Structure 1
């Protein structure tokens, strides 16, 4: 929490200062109230002086009005500070996530990042609001009540001093045991978020395989675990109120017992005893609210740790700088030299000792079974991951030495999963070129074999795109993501199995269009279809991360048993021959 405060509180320092100051004024009025009432009883009621009573009523009304005014000011300060800090933290989290490589995203996972950006930040906002509105008020009122009680009568004031350490011990015991529960509750919320995401995105296969009951059982189990954790925390925090009320009621009883004797002995006035009881009640209410603050700040501390974990995470892929680096004229567009790569905590390397060269205008197909390392290889080119060993060069420069903005202009990457965002077709296509004209967008759609179905949409380029592009078919989404990558020229186009949902005729038309793109960019084409890679200048065959063959289609048919096996399984005998 301290790190977050140092980073995000300074712009709102004036709210964090003036809010508690106004709250202290309100506390001052609250502490004067029992004294005014005591004066009204002793000098007005007991003496039969109605003027004193009316003066006291006016004084109480004036303090109430002023207290209401400063409360409104404090409330505004609290709202501005809490909402402002919460907005800044969320912006920082989103900015930090933008720097993460695929490794950090794999480490955290989308559900927990969503929970930390929403629920955890909400807890922090609540804590900041309570910090301004309540954290000063109730402790100050509690301490002020003790001081005023001692000022009225020292022996009776000592009753207050005995109650405070007992209550402090209760708070410590409850708070120290509550923190693990609140941290566990947030972790359980991550699990619930993950299940909701899986269920929402996989509703079709869930229904197709009649797994609704299974998913419901999983969700009930996760919800029950979160509920059990919450109940455990609730049982602990529920002890605060009865324990504090017990201690304070015993204190009130002691004040009445001892105060009654003092009034009889003439040492105290009746109004003073009433003031002491008023201060004891204020102390009781203060302690009850402090108990609530303990719960709020305990939950906020757990949330702060989770937010700080994200903000403190250092990405494994760091930008080489903001200045563009000169590329080597005539150098290979892509060169890998003895590249190996392992996913974090993986049992074996995803790629081992891969070397290849792709010249300008050439095409390289990559084929292999599931888990052979094809997508891992594609991810190394735009630096979604960094190679564990060896070097990856684009246009003659190591990708680690190129600014990410320059690298990702040189490399047009089409991921395996077609991801679209809510908006319009035009909005999605302009991700690669914000200033692209409509003519350039249509040219990219033509090359991606997507122009025909976009023209059939009533709004054309302004047709709406729902989240994840769910209003388009799988093949349409793939073609739109290909078009997005082709909006601006590049030196290398990487297609990570991005035509798997296309029929063979559309796939062939797409490959022909890619071969005649303006500027003749090199192409790295990853696929499980032999027909897709067979027309490439070279084909790389992977198996369990190892290179099993590299050459032309004919060379591999003759000299690579694995490639021949794939060809025999997909092509008719005469085509393979």
Structure 2
């Protein structure tokens, strides 16, 4: 009869079609398989079908064709047998058990048709295993690539942040430097950027990795058992709540930590820079205690945060293990009720652990994020700091026939945050080619006057004109290219004497360098060194005396050959004899330049064409040395107090 039956070819092989066929054919396949087994093993068939309403399969003679027997039964009896089979299968475990039995029937049918079922299963395992290995290999390669990309991105971000930060600081005026300490700027450029770099490296990896694992795990877990989604949601909810609590506690502490790092750097810099003062006053123990307090504050705060995160990790593991136990308990009940297979439960548990692990990885990011957030805000404070001294929107260029004249018109100045003006209504004019001395009492504003000319600060009132142009309207580069500036504190850079002198002009030849050293009275100690111009200069020029550093700073400015020179108390570390020789050499070399000299020494400025006398930010005297000796009481007092020393010099 089967030979004459029509053959149906399945055209649609989609997942939905196969699932429908599974449900339709599972029971018939299992029944046919059981009845076929009854001929060879009646006892096994009896355990599968029961007594079939009084029809005892175990009493059938071996080899009897059961299908022939069943076909000869009356219709009513066959229907009773069908009902008995349905009831028996329902008691054996429901749909899941039915499908498992049908799968065994399919294997037996393949073997009956002459197929090697074991080989088919092995081929399937090898094929699926190969796919899994391929996916694992792709995952490993992807992980390596993501690691490389994340490292490059994080390192590139840190590089760019350092560059932007340095460029911003280089544009700072004196007002901005008053806002940030040197120690704080160093911490922001190093420690803070490193914190941001570390988090960015982890963030890039997590962006690619954690969502794929988490979302993929959620989809697969729901597919395996939609009714158990709440176990994962509960674990993830508890985990997120704990992360939020830790984040709330840690964020303020990280702000404190970065401030304490600034403080520790400040104390260390002050001690290293002022070591001789500390030793001369025998204050080593005091400074050690001061450093220890700053160090202890930082250590205690770090310990608090570290303990918080140490406690966090066991809680996370507890959540993972608790989620595993909950899934096993709920899954075991569903397996017992035949609502879930053991394999599906184990797969669901693995997916759940995968989801929780994804959130654990994100939690590691959240652990580092508060500190990086604080660091990023500190970096942003510098990058977003408004610059008070900028190039004008519509610059007015200095004339090509530049005349180094300087004119102050009712100039006043107040430092940022100060209550009183440092300079009050200064008005004077310096002609081209003049040498002008600026003298005054301590704190009278002498250095402030000369710092306004290159626009280290901008005047808060009035106007300053150079060569007839308001300096606030001139491009900064043009203005500063015309000025040779020698500050109070001599700053030398790590390198050689030649590299420091060429800081003013990279193309200067050795003849120009030697001439500048000769005028600055520095050629003697330079020639004494075997390396000459290539002699090393340590950081800050610590391997040179104060007077030697001042003379090298003067020589560096002379290499520039500027039309306007500013000497801000730049002769204070020189003895009177060297001072006199240096001034004589400068007079010859700079006879066509305008020279401003700030000094407390009468001998340094008494031969100037004009001397300005300041007191409490006001101009109280203007004239030559002889004129001021007759007309200005403060100048005369200063001069008379130094007369004996000058005579000896």
TM-score (norm 2): 0.78
Task: Give the drift of 1:283.
Answer: 2.8
Task: Give the drift of 1:172.
Answer: 2.1
State the SS of the aligned residue for 2:458: coil
Task: Give the drift of 1:514.
Answer: 1.4
Aligned to 1:218: 290
Task: Give the drift of 1:280.
Answer: 2.6
Cα distance in 2 between the residues matched to 1:72 and 1:188: 37
Q: Does 1:435 align with 2:470?
A: no
State the SS of the aligned residue for 1:516: helix
**Counterpart pick for 1:295 among 367, 373, 393:** 367
**Does the CA-based 8 Å contact 1:244-1:287 persist in structure 2?**
no
Matches within 5 A, 1:174-323: 174-320=246-392
**Counterpart pick for 2:577 among 489, 505, 508:** 505
Q: Does 1:458 align with 2:520?
A: no
CA change 1:353–1:101 in 2 (3 A) is: same
State the SS of the aligned residue for 1:571: helix
CA change 1:478–1:332 in 2 (3 A) is: closer
**Does the CA-based 8 Å contact 2:174-2:457 persist in structure 1?**
yes
Matches within 5 A, 1:8-87: 58-87=130-159
Task: Give the drift of 1:331.
Answer: 5.8
Task: Give the drift of 1:53.
Answer: 5.8
CA change 1:330–1:58 in 2 (3 A) is: closer
Aligned to 1:345: 417
Q: Does 1:142 align with 2:142?
A: no
**Counterpart pick for 2:195 among 119, 123, 126:** 123
Task: Give the drift of 1:96.
Answer: 1.0
State the SS of the aligned residue for 2:597: strand
Aligned to 1:400: 472
Aligned to 1:88: 160
**Does the CA-based 8 Å contact 1:541-1:550 persist in structure 2?**
yes
Cα distance in 2 between the residues matched to 1:81 and 1:548: 61
Cα distance in 2 between the residues matched to 1:248 and 1:69: 28
CA change 1:282–1:236 in 2 (3 A) is: same
Cα distance in 2 between the residues matched to 1:406 and 1:303: 37
CA displacement, residues 278-330 of structure 1 (integer Å, 9 cap, x when unaligned): 22322332232221100222222211111111111121111237977243869
Task: Give the drift of 1:244.
Answer: 3.0
Cα distance in 1 between the residues matched to 2:646 and 2:571: 25
**Counterpart pick for 1:485 among 536, 553, 557:** 557
CA displacement, residues 473-497 of structure 1 (integer Å, 9 cap, x when unaligned): 1111101111111112222110001
**Does the CA-based 8 Å contact 1:333-1:522 persist in structure 2?**
yes
Cα distance in 2 between the residues matched to 1:473 and 1:574: 23
Matches within 5 A, 1:164-183: 164-183=236-255
State the SS of the aligned residue for 1:183: helix
Aligned to 2:617: 545
Structure number with greater CO (CA < 8 Å, separation at least 6) is 1
Aligned to 1:11: none
In the alignment, structure 2 segments of 5+ residues that lack a partner are: 1-99, 105-116
Cα distance in 1 between the residues matched to 2:370 and 2:552: 48
Cα distance in 2 between the residues matched to 1:519 and 1:573: 28
**Does the CA-based 8 Å contact 1:454-1:460 persist in structure 2?**
yes
**Does the CA-based 8 Å contact 2:260-2:294 persist in structure 1?**
yes
Q: Does 1:99 align with 2:171?
A: yes
CA displacement, residues 380-409 of structure 1 (integer Å, 9 cap, x when unaligned): 111111111111111221111221121112
CA displacement, residues 229-275 of structure 1 (integer Å, 9 cap, x when unaligned): 32333344445323333333322211111111222233222222222
Cα distance in 1 between the residues matched to 2:501 and 2:487: 15
**Counterpart pick for 1:521 among 593, 608, 614:** 593
Cα distance in 1 between the residues matched to 2:645 and 2:143: 85
**Counterpart pick for 2:463 among 363, 376, 391:** 391
**Does the CA-based 8 Å contact 1:321-1:402 persist in structure 2?**
no
CA displacement, residues 440-493 of structure 1 (integer Å, 9 cap, x when unaligned): 111111111112211222111111111111111111110111111111222211
Aligned to 1:448: 520
Cα distance in 2 between the residues matched to 1:154 and 1:100: 61
Cα distance in 2 between the residues matched to 1:234 and 1:290: 18
Task: Give the drift of 1:518.
Answer: 4.9
Cα distance in 1 between the residues matched to 2:181 and 2:157: 25
State the SS of the aligned residue for 1:364: strand
> Could you tell which deviates more after superposition, 520-529 or 217-226?
217-226
CA displacement, residues 485-533 of structure 1 (integer Å, 9 cap, x when unaligned): 1112222110001111111011111111111115521111011112112
**Does the CA-based 8 Å contact 2:492-2:537 persist in structure 1?**
yes
> Could you tell which deviates more after superposition, 379-388 or 197-206?
197-206
Cα distance in 2 between the residues matched to 1:86 and 1:61: 37
**Does the CA-based 8 Å contact 2:567-2:596 persist in structure 1?**
yes
Aligned to 1:29: none
In the alignment, structure 1 segments of 5+ residues that lack a partner are: 1-38
Aligned residues: 533
**Does the CA-based 8 Å contact 2:398-2:478 persist in structure 1?**
no
State the SS of the aligned residue for 2:227: helix
Cα distance in 2 between the residues matched to 1:289 and 1:557: 79
State the SS of the aligned residue for 1:418: coil
Structure with larger Rg:
2
